Amino acid sequence: MPLFPNFLLSLFLLIGVCNCRTTTKNEESHVQMQTQTLNTNPTLFNPQVPPLRTLSSSKRFEGSSEFVKLKYHMGPVLSSPINIYLIWYGKWPQSQKLLIKDFLLSISASDRRVAPSPSVSDWWQTVSLYTDQTGANISRSVSIAGEYSDLLYSHGTQLTRLSVQDVIATAVRAKPFPVDHRNGIYLILTAEDVTMEDFCRAVCGFHYFTFPSKVGYTLPYAWVGNSGKQCPEVCAYPFAVPGYMGGGGPGHLTPPNGDVGVDGMVSVIGHELAELSSNPLVNAWYAGEDPTAPTEIGDLCEGLYGTGGGGGYIGSVLKDGEGRTFNLNGRNGRKFLVQWIWSPVLKACAGPNALD
C-alpha cells in the first residue's frame, strides 16, 4: 500500500514519465561507487524518537500477530528474477543516484565480503518467504535492467496519480525499456522539486499497475518522491522531526549517508518494493477486505527498525563512530536504515538485525 506515516494510505494509480538519457545494465559496471559511511565500531542503541502525531502506536508497531489477518488472495508474486527499470524524473545529482542504486544492488549481494550481516540481502530474505499458489517464492535475484533520465520534466513538475502513468508510457514508447511483463517492475523516482498528488499529505510512495488504456500494457510500478525540501519531517522521519517537536525531547537521528531526503527515500523504496513483489496486481498478499486500500507486508511494520520497537521507540539499531544511525549493511560499504517487514513464518515483524 502507499507508504505514509499515518497509515491513511490509499492504493490508486500512479506513475512517472521520462525523456532523456538511457543507461543500460552494462553501463552500470563503469560507474565507480564511493562509500559515504564510516564502518568504525558500531554500537547498539534503541533511540526514543517522539512519534508523529499522525503515527499510531497500535499493535502494528509491536509486530503482534493477534490482530493481523494477512491473507493470500491467489494472485501472482514476482517469482522470476526481478528486473528494475529506473526512471529518474527531474534533476538528480550523481551522488544521490549512486546511493539509491547501491541500495537496490545490495538486495542480491549475498556475499558476506560484499556486505556483512545484517545486510540488505538478509532483509530481502524475509520478503522472499512469500509464495504464490504454485509454491514459488519471490525471487532473491534483483537487478537494475535499465535507467532513463528525464531532465526536462516532460510532464511538468506537478504530477498526479494518473499522469505518472504517462511518464511510464513515454519511456516504453521511446523504447529505452522493453515491455517486460514477466520480470519487470518500473520504479519512478521524482526529484525534490517535483510535487505529486497527495505527496506529504497522504503518501510518501505507492505502487500499482499501469492501465492498458494509458500505457498499452499492464505493468507493475512504484513511485517514490524525494521529500528533502517538501516534507522531510514526514517522509524522511526519523531523520527529520516536525517543527512542533523542536522545543525539547529527543531530536532527529543522523542519516547513515548524510542525505536526509534520499536516506529517507531508501526505506520508502524498500517498503514499496517489498509490497510490489508480494502484491504486484493487488490480488496476492494483503490484510483487509478492500483491495483498493489493502494493508500489506510493509504497512504492518511501519516505524519498526529493530528489536524492542514500539511506543515511540524505533527498536535497537546501530550507530557508527560519527553517530550515524543504520540497521543494514550494503555494497561498497554503504549503510542504510530500513523498516522491518512482516514475516509469514514468524507471523511478526522481522529484520536481520533482530537481537532475539
> In this structure, are residues 130 and 138 in contact, taking their beta carbons and an 8 Å threshold?
yes
Look up residue 318 and give its DSSP letter.
E
* Residues 202/250, Cβ–Cβ less than 8 Å: no
The count of domains in the chain is: 1
pLDDT of res. 237: 86
Q: Is position 80 within any domain?
A: yes
Query: Residue 7: its pLDDT value, please?
Result: 32
Residue 307 lies in a domain: yes
Assess if residue 26 is contained within a domain.
no
Q: In this structure, is residue 34 part of a structural domain?
A: no
In this structure, are strands 82-89 and 184-190 parallel, antiparallel, or unpaired?
A: parallel
The answer to whether the beta carbons of residues 331 and 33 sit under 8 Å apart is yes
User: Does residue 194 fall inside a structural domain?
Assistant: yes
Q: CA torsion angle for 8, 186, 210, 177 (degrees, to 10)?
A: 170
DSSP state, residue 342: E
DSSP H or E stretch at residue 215: helix 212-215
Cell 491473507 belongs to 71
- Checking DSSP bridges between strand 43-45 and strand 21-24, what pairing results, if any? unpaired
Report pLDDT for 266.
Answer: 98
Q: Is residue 183 part of a domain?
A: yes
b/e burial code for range 42-81 (CB count within 10 A of at least 16 → b): beeeebebbbbeebeeeebbbbebeebebebeebbbbbee
Q: Is residue 91 part of a domain?
A: yes
Q: Which three cell numbers stand for residue 275?
A: 509490497
Domain enclosing residue 271, as ranges: 62-350
Closest CA to 107 of 92, 124, 94: 124
Answer whether residue 100 is part of any domain.
Answer: yes
Distance from C-alpha of 98 to C-alpha of 34, rounded to nearest angstrom: 8
Per DSSP bridges, beta strands 142-150 and 82-89 are: parallel
> Are residues 330 and 103 in contact, defined by beta-carbon separation less than 8 angstroms?
yes
Contact status, residue 115 vs residue 173, Cβ threshold 8 Å: no
Instruction: Give me the average pLDDT of each 10-residue run along the chain (356 residues).
Output: 50 32 40 38 69 38 56 96 96 98 94 90 98 97 95 96 94 84 94 96 94 93 96 91 56 89 97 97 93 91 91 89 95 97 95 93
